[in-house]
Structure formats: C-alpha cells, structure tokens
Structure 1
Amino acid sequence: MPSATKYSEYLPERPLVGYGMDQPDPHWPGGAKIAVSFVINWEEGGERNILEGDSGSETFIIEHLTRPSRIGGRDDMTESEFEYGGRAGLPRLMRLFKKYNFKSTIYTVAAALERAPYLGPMLVAQGHEIASHGDRWINSMAMSPEEEEEHMHQAIDRLQKYTGDPNVPRGWMIGRRSNASPRLYCRAAKERGLEFLYSSDSYGDDLPYWLESPLASEGEPDEGMLVIPYSLDCNDFRFVVPGSGWSSGEDFYNHLVDTFDVLYEEGLEGRAKMMSVGLHNRCVGRPGRLAAVEKFMQYISTKEGVWVARRDEIARHWREKFPYTVERCQGRML
C-alpha cells in the first residue's frame, strides 16, 4: 500500500459540465417523478470538547454561532445544546419518521452512537440507514492522512459494534473533510471488505454521478466512485447561520416546498431528480422547527410518484440502471 502521505496529493478533476442539457431520466422505481432523501446528522457527543483532548469547545451549528470557542475549559452552554440533540431531538425525529413510515439516512458520527448505544439497533430495526459521518465530528483538515485513516477505521469499528451490523457503513459523508478523505474511505472500505456504495461529499448536482475511483491512480481496478450529492440549501443548519438562514419554521417549509415543486415539475417533464433534506437533531429537533418538517412530510404525502428513499437505496438503483463506465464518469449516460 502506498504511503498515506501521498493521499493528500489526490484531487479529482472538477466535473463542471455534468449532464448539461441532456439530463437523463433516472427511471426511479415505480415511475416516480422525484426521489426525496431525508438525511439526519447525528453528531452530538462527537463534537470538540476538552474532555476528548481538544483545545476548546465546539463553535459550529449551534444557536449562539458567534460564540467563540472556550479554550482550555468546558462550555456548559454549548455542551447542553448538543446534549439536547441526543436526549430530545433524535427521539422526536424518530417518532415523526415512524408516523409517516418514512426512512432516512443517518450520517452517524461513531462517537455519538457510542454515547447512546441503545439507539443503534433500534434505528437499524426501524429501517434507517447508518452511514458514516466520521469517528468524531471534528475537522479532518487538521489531521495528517495517517491520523485520518486511523479515525476512519475507528469509525467502522464503533458503527459496527453499536449497531450490531457487520456490514455498515455502506456510504460516507465526512463533511469537514480533507482532500485526502475520498481516497482514504475508499481504501478503508476495501481493506475491511465492505460494500462501498457511495460518497456524499458533494453538493454538485440534483442527480447521482460517477467519478473515477480514487484508488485507480494506485493501480487498483477503476470501479468508479458513485456520488450521491447532498444539499446545503434545503438544510436546517441555516436556522443558526447569522443573516443568511431561516428566521422561522415557515421559511424552511416554504423553501422545501418550492424546491420540491420545481423538481417535481421537471420529473413530470421526463427529467426526474432527487431532493436532499438535511436535518440536525439539536437544530430541527426543537419543537418549533420540527413542525416545518412535518408539514413538508404531509405535503409530499399528497403527491403521486414520490419515492422517499434512503441514500443506499438510491445508490443501488443507480448502480443497477447506470453501472460505471468511463463515459458515464464524464457525465454521459449512454
């Protein structure tokens, strides 16, 4: 295996053209006009904290976003905000998804799952997908490739241990990642014999797309890397972004509906898409915000031809309908 330091030299070419004007019909199951992917980010317990050896407290996706990190000490205000996500937010979201019989993909930080181990088997039994969001919810840009690789293997170990599923994760979304991350999680999955279905470290399209395998430059067979794009606009973290987010649940709901309506219309015209909805336990798990998610669920439940799907289900569909070829890597479907 090449030195892990070489991983930081890998960056794929930017796929700026994509499908262009010839956007494909994805042939969603049952002739669906849109695929809706709900994503729950489970990060609580994996964030920065001096109890974990970090220099200070977390500052990202919190209600008081302008609050500086408390260096060298604990910040009980921030800690308790994250605690809310696990104690109240996630159970509330799970009850809502069960009510509508919708399944989600859960971007799971392994350290968060370890701190609430009873939830892992329950989420799997309820049909949700456990995808990897890293071992801890920290910025991997600050790590060496060797450290990041170790964290990925630790994430796999903990996710498997606390879900009881030896085959997780099948998808990855690191988010706060380094340029080396795609190569490292492809390598980690291959070494562990895992079925690696997709990466979601992209915001670049409304459809899945193929990239060359990050391992191809090492002489490995080019099996491609399927990208299931994520979304930052249909994302509840904007509730806590000063000056550019949602001021109320109604703002969030209206944006979700507008996005859905445009994509649904494109589906009716034969150019079906996927829509990602990003949720955070400590954010939309608050009662006043959860109402917007339920209203959106009610809205799409009235429409015909809506496929609410986990990301691994979308990935399997795409792999079956559009298996990897070099031509598809370049954005062409045929």
Structure 2
Amino acid sequence: MTNIEDETWNWPEERWRARANRVRAGKQLTPPWPEGKRCAVALSFDVDHESCELYKGGKSIGNIAGGQYGSRRGMPRIMSLLRKYDINASFFVPAVTAKLYPEEQRAVVDEGHEIGLHGWIHEFNSLLPQENERDLMMRSADTLASITGARPVGIRTPSWDFSEHTLAIIREMGLLYDSSLMADDSCYELLEDGEPTGVVEIPVEWVRDDAPYFSMSLARSLRPHISPEDVLKIFLREFEHAYQDGEMFQLTMHPDVTGKRSRIWILEELIRAAKAKGDVWFATHRQVAEHASIDL
C-alpha cells in the first residue's frame, strides 16, 4: 500500500509548489552576439566511452567494446573534422573516461576545445544522497583538472539527470554554467527556490541529440528507427529557426554515435550549412555562457 505522503494528488499546495520551484528558468539571456554575428552555434560531445556500461555495474564485454569505439574511431574523426573547419567545441567527460584516456583529453584541450564535467562514472545524480553527489562532482573536477591542466567551469549532468541538490553544489563549486536542462531554446539564468543564482543554463534537448535517433539495445528491443538523412533534416530545421530568430543552436553528440562512418557526414553537412551563412559564431559552451552572462 502506498504511503499517503507519496500520493501526489494529496500534497498540500506548498509542497508541490516547492518541488516545482526548486530549480526554474529565470531571465532569458540572448544578448547581441559578438562581432555582429546573427546566430551562435555551440557544438558539444558527451565523451562517455565505456562509462555507460560501467556505471550500472555491467559486465558486457560487447558494450564495453562499443564504448571503446568512441575513442578509437569516433574521436579521431570528430577532431579531424573540427580541425578542418577551424571550429572549437565542448567535450563533456566523465572522470572515469578521462582516467582511461588521459592523452585523449589532453589533446582536446591542447587543440583549444573545452572540457566540462559529466559525472564520475556517468551516475544518476537523483539516485544519490546529497553528500555522495557532492563528493563525486568535486572529485570529478579535481580529476579533469589534474589530467588536462584546465579546471572545468561548466557541467552537463550524466543523462541530464539533475537532482534537487545539483544546483546548490554547482553554486558551491563556483561553476559558470550548466547544460542539462530544457526550459528554453536560448540561454537563461537558473533560479533556485525563486532566487537568481547567476548560473547560466545552456539548454539541451533530445531533439538535438544524436543518441535517441541511433540508439541500439538488445535488452529492450530498441533499434535505430530513422535514417541519417532524416536526422540531418531535423538538425538543419533546428538550426535554421535558431538563425532566423537570432538565437543559439546547441547540439549534443556522442563519439560512438556520430563518429560512425555512415554518420560523421551529418556533422560536416551541418557545419557547412552554418558556415555558408557567413554570420554565424561557432563557440564553446564556456564562450556562450561568458557572453550570455553580460545580461545578468
């Protein structure tokens, strides 16, 4: 029998209001882009590699090998493409991934890209006690800083799982931005219990993520259901509307997903389409957050 306190339809108004208002979107942050650019393009990559199997205690050698593909083939293709078009991007890296591939992360930073927090082992924050979540976030930041020499200023929570304590920890750590929530298309300031925090949110969205279109799971009978050509059309429509509105186009990709031979061209076509406009600002998430924060 469910405890009466867990029956949400019986919650008093102050309880559901407090839950709804714990973290909310505040002021929209869309200042004029630098150098008269009409639109910002913020490309990002979640460098999960083996952590997606390891976080759940999985023992599948096949899944671990699939994660390794992201480093062996996906990352070189992505890095080569960014180099070809002289673009800097943001890479969100679990600490375990960084410890498995320290040279990879150092190369990312050496080429001018940003590395951001993405958990310790791709854990779910909402399942952790507050003290454990805090410890893992602190240790992850220390690990990335020690490996790359660059301390992260932003975070993307693993699986975009944001607990009721996450924002307080972000503030304690003095992070500039988060990129895990979905309350807007444009940047906005995060509110905590109704109060401005000064933390910039660079919103994500499943529509602008490669994984939902190409995921594969034997356990759940999940199969890719859409062609790469159709995924490109979706991404391009998102970009075109962002351009028309003079706002931001943010995209989330994964080296083991977009880094496949039959998919890497999607990223290149997007870059070419944006470059063809002539007035698009390609920026890291840090650069976008720093610029957006001038409106705070």
TM range (shorter): 0.7 to 0.9
1:170 to 147, 153, 165: 153
Query: Taking every aligned residue pair, what percent have the same amino acid on both sides?
Result: 23
2:90 to 84, 105, 125: 105
Asked if 2 retains the 8 angstrom alpha-carbon contact of 1:36 and 1:276, the reply is yes
Q: How many pairs are equivalent?
A: 272
Which amino acid in structure 1 is aligned with residue 70 of structure 2? G
Superposed CA deviations along residues 226-279 of structure 1, whole A, max 9, x for unmatched, are: 21112221110122357896622111111111111222222xxxxx11011110
- The normalised TM-score by structure 2 is 0.84
Alpha-carbon shift at residue 185 of structure 1 (Å):
2.4
Which residue matches 2:209? 235
For the residue of structure 1 that corresponds to 2:43, the secondary structure is strand
Alpha-carbon shift at residue 140 of structure 1 (Å):
2.0
Asked if 1 retains the 8 angstrom alpha-carbon contact of 2:43 and 2:252, the reply is yes
Which residue matches 1:43? 48
Asked if 2 retains the 8 angstrom alpha-carbon contact of 1:186 and 1:215, the reply is no
Which residue matches 2:144? 159
Which amino acid in structure 2 is aligned with residue 129 of structure 1? E
Tell me if 1:141 matches 2:126.
yes
Which amino acid in structure 2 is aligned with residue 173 of structure 1? R
Alpha-carbon shift at residue 12 of structure 1 (Å):
3.8
Q: Distance in 2 between matches of 1:233 and 1:200?
A: 15
Asked if 2 retains the 8 angstrom alpha-carbon contact of 1:183 and 1:214, the reply is no
Which residue matches 1:261? 240
The gaps in structure 1 that reach 5 residues or longer are 1-8, 58-73, 191-195, 217-221, 267-271, 324-334
Paired residues for 1:112-131 under 5 Å: 112-131=97-116
Which residue matches 1:64? none
Which amino acid in structure 1 is aligned with residue 129 of structure 2? S
Asked if 2 retains the 8 angstrom alpha-carbon contact of 1:107 and 1:131, the reply is yes
Which amino acid in structure 1 is aligned with residue 167 of structure 2? P
Which amino acid in structure 1 is aligned with residue 155 of structure 2? W
For the residue of structure 2 that corresponds to 1:230, the secondary structure is coil
Paired residues for 1:187-198 under 5 Å: 187=172, 189-190=173-174, 196-198=175-177
Alpha-carbon shift at residue 212 of structure 1 (Å):
3.3
Alpha-carbon shift at residue 14 of structure 1 (Å):
6.1
Q: Distance in 1 between matches of 2:203 and 2:189?
A: 11
Alpha-carbon shift at residue 46 of structure 1 (Å):
2.4
Which amino acid in structure 2 is aligned with residue 35 of structure 1? A
Which amino acid in structure 2 is aligned with residue 260 of structure 1? F
Which residue matches 1:292? 266
Q: Distance in 1 between matches of 2:25 and 2:176?
A: 23
Which residue matches 1:205? 184
Which residue matches 2:164? 179
Tell me if 1:132 matches 2:117.
yes
Which amino acid in structure 2 is aligned with residue 228 of structure 1? I
Q: Distance in 1 between matches of 2:223 and 2:32?
A: 36
Which residue matches 1:77? 62
Q: Distance in 2 between matches of 1:240 and 1:116?
A: 25
Alpha-carbon shift at residue 10 of structure 1 (Å):
7.5
- The normalised TM-score by structure 1 is 0.75
Q: Distance in 2 between matches of 1:17 and 1:122?
A: 36
Asked if 2 retains the 8 angstrom alpha-carbon contact of 1:249 and 1:291, the reply is no
Asked if 2 retains the 8 angstrom alpha-carbon contact of 1:11 and 1:179, the reply is no
Tell me if 1:34 matches 2:35.
no
1:89 to 74, 84, 101: 74
Tell me if 1:250 matches 2:235.
no
Asked if 1 retains the 8 angstrom alpha-carbon contact of 2:47 and 2:255, the reply is yes
Q: Distance in 1 between matches of 2:252 and 2:75?
A: 14
Alpha-carbon shift at residue 16 of structure 1 (Å):
6.9
Alpha-carbon shift at residue 211 of structure 1 (Å):
2.4
Asked if 2 retains the 8 angstrom alpha-carbon contact of 1:207 and 1:229, the reply is yes
Q: Distance in 1 between matches of 2:293 and 2:137?
A: 24
Q: Distance in 2 between matches of 1:260 and 1:146?
A: 40
